[in-house]
Amino acid sequence: LGLVLALAIAGCANENDLTAPQPAGQDQVAPGGLIAVDAPTADAHRFRSRRAKYPLQLGNTWKYVAHVTIEFLGEDDPGLPEEIIRTTKSEITGAANMFGQCYTVEERSITEDISPGEIFKQRVFYRQDHSGLYEATLPVIGPDGMAARAAGPDRIEQQLATLEHGQAWVRTHRALQERIVQMRALRGGAVARFGGDQGGPIGDELTRLDYPLHWGKSWVVVDDAFRMTATVEHLKLLRLPIGRRPAWAVRLESDLFGPEDDVVTYYGREGYLGWQVTVFSDVVNDTGEVIGSLRFVDVEMLQDVEIDRRGELACGN
């Protein structure tokens, strides 16, 4: 999903604290979670003037940590929320020729604390030129296990089934899982997984970034059954485990989202810096009465990075 200034702003009244876990080990996030404050206008002008592209040099690596929470809101409280820590390690590893184009390959290894020793693999295929950053999409082959697992393991449904309106809670939980599977594609790679036949590529692309980025810039990410748009809202200063970083806050909107859903991604000189996703689903019983709701929150941030902008580009762009 690219674009740095050494700023030192702390204790601002307009801080927006994006809740994340406190550190309990090296794979946890920094104290205080992800903090985003408005960067000064002058810094925004300097940041915009940079002709930086997304860093797609071979060997560039990123490590992200996400805190995922699923809350059950209603009288039939099953004694949750469920909390998951997800770690993603990404590396630019090479190139792939598809649709007559050269795509840079990013390989990801994803783990979750609820499944020790289990590693999920993904590939993302990027194409970049002066106009923007694009991602090739591949057809879905089977369920996206990573997205389903992030929405909650089967034991959650077992607990929900014991409630007075258990089937209504289970139906809503499954529908929420399906939405999260689709929303995971916003992060990239959710439909392209290692192992077995990929089913062959299709010629569609997502527009991750439309250059140059600036306040108010808007573009269509994908125009299909769930049309999705992106809008650059602010230049923010993020407090990350790697230090303070200026980043463009890009809001994603789609017919896929409900009225209370919220998806914001952050991009800086090191590329994708993090996101915050909040998704709500009402629980409706057999008579059509709303008896509760599910809330899914996914806060991801960059924890470590190694990039070399002078390095070799897999596709020369």
Rounded percentage of the chain residues whose pLDDT exceeds 90: 30
What band does 210 get if pLDDT is binned at 50, 70 and 90?
very high
Residue 23 falls within a domain, yes or no?
Answer: no
pLDDT for residue 80: 60
Whether 22 shows a pLDDT value over 50: the answer reads: no
How many domains does the chain divide into?
1
What's the pTM value of the predicted model, to 2 decimals?
Answer: 0.74
pLDDT of residue 72: 76
pLDDT at 184: 61
> Does residue 278 lie in a domain region?
yes
Residue 62: is its pLDDT beyond 90? Answer: yes
| More confident position, 65 or 73 | 65
Do the domain assignments include residue 73?
yes
Report the C-alpha gap between 308 and 55 in whole angstroms.
Answer: 8
For residue 295, tell me if it sits in a domain.
yes
274 confidence band (pLDDT: 50, 70, 90): very high
Give the residue with greater pLDDT, 159 vs 93. Answer: 93
Do 229 and 71 meet the contact criterion of CB atoms below 8 Å apart?
A: no
pLDDT score at 168: 73
Instruction: Decide which of 146 and 129 is more confident.
Output: 129
d(CA 146, CA 193): 10
Identify whether 199 is part of a domain: yes
Q: Is the pLDDT of residue 159 over 80?
A: no
pLDDT at 190 over 80: no
The predicted model gives 107-131 an average pLDDT of 88
Residue 11 — pLDDT band, cuts 50, 70, 90?
very low
Q: Which two tokens stand for residue 42?
A: 């002058």
pLDDT digits (tens, 9 = 90+) for 164-175: 666 676 777 777
Please compute the mean of the pLDDT values over residues 272-288 and round it to a whole number: 85
Query: Is there a domain that residue 314 lies in?
Result: no
Hunting for tokens 């709303």 — which residue is that? Answer: 290
* Alpha carbon distances (Å) from 202 to 67, 100, 137, 151, 246: 33, 12, 7, 27, 35
Is 20 a domain residue?
no
The mean of the pLDDT values for the chain is: 73
* Residue 205 banded pLDDT, cuts 50, 70, 90: confident
Cis check for the bond before 246: say yes or no (omega within 30 of 0). no
Q: Are 87 and 111 spatial neighbours (Cβ–Cβ below 8 Å)?
A: yes
Which structural domain range is residue 295 located in? 32-304
CB 59 within 8 A of CB 308: yes
pLDDT: is 220 or 179 the higher one? Answer: 220
Could you tell me if residue 16 is inside a domain? no
Secondary structure (3-state) at 150: helix
Q: Which of 34, 40, 41 is nearest to 15 (CA)?
A: 34
- How much is the pLDDT for 85? 92
The CA distances from residue 119 to 88, 115, 172, 300, in Å, are 10, 8, 28, 18
Give the C-alpha separation, 37 to 167, whole Å: 42
Residue that wins the pLDDT comparison between 44 and 59? 59
* Three-class DSSP category at 12: coil
> Ranked by mean pLDDT, which of 73-77, 98-102, 124-128, 144-148 comes out on top?
124-128
Residue 285: per-residue pLDDT: 76
Q: Is the pLDDT of residue 295 over 70?
A: yes
